[in-house]
Chains A and B, each alone.
Chain A
Amino acid sequence: MIGYIMRRLAAAVPVLLMVSLLAFLLMQIVPGDPAYAMAGSDASVTEIEAIRHDLGLDRAWYLRLADWYLALLRGDLGHSYTLRADVADLIIERIPVTLSIALYSLLIAIPCSIAMGIVAARFRGKLIDLGIMTTALLGVSLPNFWIGIMGILFFSVHLGWLPSGGYVPMGEDIGGWIRSMTLPALVLGTMQIGLLTRITRSEMLDIMHKDYVRTARAKGGSELRVLVRHALRNALVPIVTVIGLLFGMIVTGAVVVEQVFSIPGVGRLIVQAILTRDYPLIQGTLLFVAGAFVLINLLVDISYAYLDPRIRQA
């Protein structure tokens, strides 16, 4: 298993380098210049040129690219132009924030959608199935920012239960942290629930007619036991696959949700980096997201072996 993990990680290196290259080239094509953003609107041309020189932006792009890769070899992600701090530190500082929302949203989404998916499959074609699938469809199709704003209007403005934004670190005040994360996590979870409910339902429908599910009934197991211990247990491989795929949705969702709720996470850092053309920060955050993708995929593949003995022994 260790050897397998090592091979997978090694195979990911070229992918990450390609992602960095693409991100770099893209930023060369997109108009805009960090020097303008840093100098402010009333700066003179010479001032701007000076900043460009300081940042090394007057050098050829391939030289800058080579510099960036060389620094990466030393484990250095560079220095942010605008935030005047190490890119690596900036990212590490924000990981717990984004990870909190992501995990919290999964914690809401996974149990809800699995329960809803099972109920919908069990009562296929009944009113409750229709209700659940309509809710799921709404979850996928309503935009995150709209759900976020509606959530703020209802839970913060109308009911006054939850804060409308801001972030309370976990170390400071656990209760405050939970309250500040609940609404963002709910919003982020809605979309996941939509997708995960649908896949759970369709997998369950498929598996509920398998011979071994009939065997489980013939043994005298209760309906719940048959559905959970036998049917759901066998549906977990595709469900976990989709949970892995949700990660992409979580990243894009985090960008929006952190913006709407003014939460200082990685998503917000990416937006900020792009808006200010902060090249090292853009490169660094995108590399981080790509790395996280690779890691999630690896975790998903490892979990297959755990979930299915046929894969384990193959």
Chain B
Amino acid sequence: MSAAASTETVAPLLSVEHLRIVAAARRREDLLVEDVSFAVHAGEFLGIVGESGCGKSMTALSMLGLLPGPNVRASGGRVLFDGQDILTMGGSSLRHLRGNDVAMIFQDPMSSLNPVQTIGEQIVETILLHEKIGRERAWARAVELLAEVNIPAAAQRARDYPHQLSGGMRQRVMIAMAIACKPRLLIADEPTTALDVTIQAQILELLDRLRRERGMAVILITHDLGVIAEYADRVLVMYSGRIVERAEVASLFAQPLHPYTHGLLGSVPPLEEEVDELVAIEGQPPSPGAWPSGCRFQPRCPQSRPECASWSVRLIESEPDHAAACILHEHGETSHAD
């Protein structure tokens, strides 16, 4: 898309290189994320999609240095924001980054707000953490932000506690809080899963509008390919801790390269109907620690062959800006049966 094409020469805002995340379990380490590399440019809308447990949230949390310690940690690679490696950042640089340059909204707006503070106070806190302005001006800003995310009667609502708001309203509050300090990157980890369908669409429209107006980059994690088709410029498909396909949205839907993506799209006519769950593929993804050697999709792959078990998995770029991690593309074949 235009955003990606025009930023080709500009240094990316965020660049993840060979990210590897492990979880310490009793006497061993489970790999959660392996060799994940991608870049996000200013103003770009990147989608990340994949089944539950494939490492989407862990990848996202590492961009804020927020991996759930002490047992989960990044054990390799780099996460460069503006050229600075977040993984090795010290406490004060990290605090400066969080909420200020990179903001995040989470899946469950019901539990993500502090129940004993008014929503106004919670937004004010974010502002005061990063800007030297008076409390009153910060409060006025908080009210403006609430209005900007379409909360009616914002001045009164600012004095409400989270339990007085509906789920959709709370997610708007989370967004208002996230954009309070004009972050350059907003990560939304399944922001609409807990909400009903009409509210979902409103929230996504809101995110997209803010991206356009403010020129911030958005990373949206979702299970919903319909959402990806509608909003994202580029998309990463993850499976068992790896990126298995990376593409511009149009080419992903026009010509999925990886058998897993193909399966995901199986029940979705490209660019039309929406699906709520990724149920097209039979079987369950293996859990971390139980991954097969070689290609991890192999037990469920309709096109698997004996070599897949020993193949050294890597993304293979078969067109510009379209890569898949499948042995079939090493030999110039496509995964299409038709």
Contacts and interface: CB of A to CB of B under 8 A. Distances in A.
Interface of A: 210-212, 214-223, 229-230, 233-234, 307-310, 313
Given A233-B116, A309-B115, A220 B130 contact: yes
A252 to B, nearest CB: 33
Interface stretch (B103-111, B268-276, B323-331): B103-111
A221 B129 contact: yes
Nearest to A218: B104
A211 B162 CA distance: 13
Nearest to B109: A211
Among the interface residues A215, A307, A313, which one has the most CB atoms of the partner chain B within 10 A?
A: A215
Contacts of B174: 215
Contact of B66 (A214, A233, A308): A214
A216 B114 contact: yes
Given A309-B163, A313-B164, A220 B97 contact: yes
Contact of A214 (B97, B106, B125): B106
B106 A219 contact: no
Contacts of A313: 161, 163-164
Contact of A221 (B97, B104, B125): B125
B167 interface: no
Contacts of B66: 214, 217-218
Interface of B: 64, 66, 91, 95-100, 103-104, 106, 108, 111-117, 125-126, 129-130, 161, 163-164, 174, 177
Given A218-B99, A220-B130, A211 B116 contact: no
Nearest to A221: B129
Contact of B95 (A220, A230, A309): A220
Contacts of A223: 91
Contacts of A222: 91, 95
Contact of A212 (B64, B100, B113, B129): B113
14 contacts: A211-B108, A212-B112, A214-B66, A215-B114, A216-B114, A220-B126, A220-B129, A221-B95, A229-B125, A234-B115, A307-B116, A308-B115, A308-B116, A310-B163
Nearest to A124: B70
Nearest to B94: A220
Given A218-B64, A218-B103, A222-B95, 10 more contacts: A210-B111, A211-B111, A212-B111, A212-B112, A214-B66, A220-B98, A220-B99, A234-B116, A307-B116, A308-B115
Contacts of A211: 106, 108, 111-112
A157 B111 CA distance: 56
A165 B64 CA distance: 58
7 closest residue pairs by CB, A with B: A220-B99, A220-B98, A211-B111, A219-B99, A309-B161, A212-B114, A211-B112
B114 A217 contact: no
Nearest to A234: B116
Listed residue (B64, B95, B96, B97) with the most chain A CB atoms within 10 angstroms of its CB: B95
A47 to B, nearest CB: 67
Given A220-B126, A221-B125, A221-B129, A215 B113 contact: yes
A230 B114 contact: yes
Contacts of A215: 106, 112-114, 174, 177
A138 to B, nearest CB: 28
Contact of A310 (B100, B103, B115, B126): B115
Nearest to B118: A309
A215 B110 CA distance: 12
A60 to B, nearest CB: 58
B190 to A, nearest CB: 13
A117 to B, nearest CB: 18
A221 B94 CA distance: 10
Nearest to B110: A211
Contacts of A234: 114-116
A219 B115 contact: no
Contacts of B108: 211
A108 B148 CA distance: 48
Given A214-B66, A313-B164, A219 B112 contact: no
B98 A218 contact: yes
A222 B99 CA distance: 12
A252 B308 CA distance: 73
Nearest to A212: B114
Nearest to B108: A211
Nearest to A217: B66
Contacts of B98: 217-220
Contact of A220 (B96, B106, B113, B115): B96
A77 B100 CA distance: 66
Contacts of B129: 219-221
Contacts of A221: 95, 125, 129
A223 B91 CA distance: 9
Nearest to A230: B114
Contacts of A216: 114
A84 to B, nearest CB: 54
B161 A310 contact: yes
Contacts of A219: 98-99, 125-126, 129, 177
A234 B162 CA distance: 14
A218 B91 CA distance: 13
A215 B113 CA distance: 7
A140 to B, nearest CB: 28
Contacts of A218: 64, 66, 98-99, 103-104
B148 to A, nearest CB: 18
Nearest to B127: A219
A229 B116 CA distance: 10
A86 B99 CA distance: 66
A34 B200 CA distance: 79
